[in-house]
Structure 1
Amino acid sequence: MVIRAVIPSKLRTATEQLKFSPAIVSGNHVFLTGSTGGDMNGKMPSDAEAQFRNAFDKIELILREEGLTFQSVVEMTTYHIGLRSHFDLFDKIRQECFDAPYPAWTAVEVAGLRREGAVIEIRIIASTEANP
């Protein structure tokens, strides 16, 4: 099976520095690397809402690179620092992105994330066949 990387131009510098692919297409699925809440310039805001929106913005950028939307997402795993303190806000923003049928979702409380100051990391699997 052939696999290929998905690298939007706005993420190329980070991709080259960190030696990773923002997403990999394998078969009929696109596997996205976990997205934290840093902005497109790599700055991590201290505000949780800004982090949530930034993470979903990066996910949308990667999906669009493949001609996909949030409706293509079949599975989402979210890793949270302070899950209970910000769950309602995160869930509100999540619902702005997704419509029924909603993706399968697991939310996990973690002790830490790679990026200093990050409170969220979102991992996505999308289907190339699920786009309306």
Structure 2
Amino acid sequence: MESTTKRQPIIPPPFQVWYDAYHFAPATRVGDTIWVSGQVGATPDGTVGEDIQAQARIAFESLKAILEAAGASLADVVELMTFHIDLQGEIEGFAAIKDEYFPERFPSWTAVGVTQLVFPELRVEVRAVAVAGSGEKTVVSK
């Protein structure tokens, strides 16, 4: 994807339904920076994962698809922010799935406990900031 300083909404076809219903872009890219809207444990067709791990997997798969449509990958994620209905009770199950998607070179991460999400059956929401091309491995001196 061509780098530009103009704001580009990223709306992959499966996510058009969310864009139309709730009037938000799944992601916005300016230059190499991509801000991904919160992804929940429900697919665009409305299927909700049955537990925290299933919902985390759906959210991370959505994040991955949106980043790919923006010309980036999970390796380019520099920051995650997650919102949890039961942060203390479900963080271990969530973190196990997160670590499948981010097995190394972990991004910055903030986890916040909240009282509710957009639909009552949802357990978690994941938003991210990525910088396209930043995921290339480099040697960091200590």
Same fold (TM over 0.5): yes
**Equivalent residues, number:** 132
1:106 equivalent in alignment to 2:117: no
Deviation at 1:120, TM superposition (A): 0.2
Alignment partner of 1:50 out of 54, 79, 85: 54
Deviation at 1:46, TM superposition (A): 3.1
RMSD over aligned Cα atoms: 1.2
Displacement over 6 Å in runs of 4+? none
- Give TM-score scaled by structure 1 length: 0.93
* Alpha-carbon distance in 2 for matches of 1:129, 1:43: 32
1:14 partner letter: W
Task: Specify every segment of 5 or more residues in structure 2 that has no aligned partner in the other structure, as ranges.
Answer: 137-142
1:62 equivalent in alignment to 2:66: yes
Conservation of the 8 A alpha-carbon contact between 1:4 and 1:26? yes
Task: Specify every segment of 5 or more residues in structure 1 that has no aligned partner in the other structure, as ranges.
Answer: none
The corresponding residue for 1:92 is 96
The corresponding residue for 2:10 is 6
How high is the sequence identity, in percent, across the aligned residues? 30
* Alpha-carbon distance in 1 for matches of 2:71, 2:27: 13
Q: Deviations over 1:100-124 (max 9, x none)?
A: 3210000111111112211100010
1:40 equivalent in alignment to 2:40: no
The corresponding residue for 1:15 is 19
* Alpha-carbon distance in 2 for matches of 1:47, 1:28: 34
- Give TM-score scaled by structure 2 length: 0.87
2:39 partner letter: S
The worse-fitting range, judged by mean Cα deviation, of 26-35 and 37-46 is 37-46
